[in-house]
Amino acid sequence: MANLKEVRLRIASVKSTQQITKAMKMVSAAKFKRATDAIVQMRPFANKLKDMLSNVSESLSDMDNVYTQEREVNNVLIVVITSNRGLAGAFNNNVIKTANNIIAENYLEHKRKGNLHIVAVGKKAQDFYTRAKYNVIGNNNELFNKLNFENSTAIVEGIMEGFANGKYDRVELVYNQFKNAAVQILTTEQLLPLPKAVASTGKSAKVDYLFEPSIEEIIEDLIPRSIKLQFFKALLDSHASEHGARMTAMDKATDNAGELLKSLTLQYNQARQAAITNEILEIVSGANALAEA
């Protein structure tokens, strides 16, 4: 009977867990819809702005803009975008692993000299790099509680100021780019200095524009705007990817709980049947012993 009680407790525990995973899946599904709407609406504008900068790349090379200056890389800043919460499969671990691989391959010497800096967006990255004794700048764990362009701009403006002042010579982003609910693409982008984009043919795209009032004034405004927009797009991508990953993980967890319930129910029924059979055998044996007496 102790075995039956143990199985009953496990069944109750699994049912409780299944209810939790179902609820988390529903919550993530609702948030996922809003997050995907935001990134889908943002992408065309962000991509068009990026194309415009690509098309005027020749003009950029002739201008002395602080955000396009290539210089010797002595100080590096890596922005690692994760989530505040877990239970999203390998979503957070994959981002941190990718960032660590970049550091190991390209910036070990910078890390050794103390010239590697981390901006962690999301509690999971913040906790990991703080425990690992990296030079973590600021705390941005509350950003995803109210994700908007204004709040993201406050972070990226500090990064841009650090680059302009020579505190950082290169800034890289590591995040999950959203594809669909089940697929997230690990992405590494150079945020600063602004890379000279190249068309798929391998040649700089050439499009004639009429600039008013002047190309210098327009580009001086366009470059900072593009950097802020690319950073915000990365945050929206990561946010949508997080809810897609959690929704998928909770769906799989719910299915696994269902399979485990079937197995435990079968195990319980078999144990119960065996117990009943033993009781019947004991009764029959007792009756036969009395009859023989």
Q: Cβ(180)–Cβ(244) under 8 Å? A: yes
Give the per-residue pLDDT at 201. Answer: 37
Range of the domain at 76: 1-11+63-287
In a domain? residue 18: no
Give the per-residue pLDDT at 199. Answer: 37
Q: With bands split at pLDDT 50, 70 and 90, how would you rate the model's confidence at 105?
A: very high
In a domain? residue 244: yes
In a domain? residue 158: yes
Amino acid at 218: I
Q: What CATH code is carried by the domain that includes residue 250?
A: 3.40.1380.10
Number of domain units in the chain: 1
In a domain? residue 278: yes
Segment of 58-62, 127-131, 279-283 carrying the highest mean pLDDT: 127-131
Distance, CA of 258 to CA of 128 (rounded, Å) = 33
In a domain? residue 113: yes
Distance, CA of 234 to CA of 149 (rounded, Å) = 11
Query: Which has more pLDDT, 242 or 198?
Result: 242
- Per-residue model confidence as pLDDT tens digits over 205-257: 456 666 667 666 777 778 888 889 999 999 999 999 998 888 888 988 888 88
Q: What residue ranges in 148-239 does DSSP mark as E strands?
A: 170-180, 183-192
Q: How far is CA 33 from the centre of its chain?
A: 16
Structure tokens at 220: 């001086």
Give the per-residue pLDDT at 141. Answer: 87
In a domain? residue 49: no
Distance, CA of 293 to CA of 159 (rounded, Å) = 95
Query: Which has more pLDDT, 275 or 20?
Result: 20
In a domain? residue 182: yes
Distance, CA of 58 to CA of 62 (rounded, Å) = 7
Give the per-residue pLDDT at 126. Answer: 93
* pLDDT over 80 (residue 37): yes
Distance, CA of 42 to CA of 54 (rounded, Å) = 19
In a domain? residue 58: no
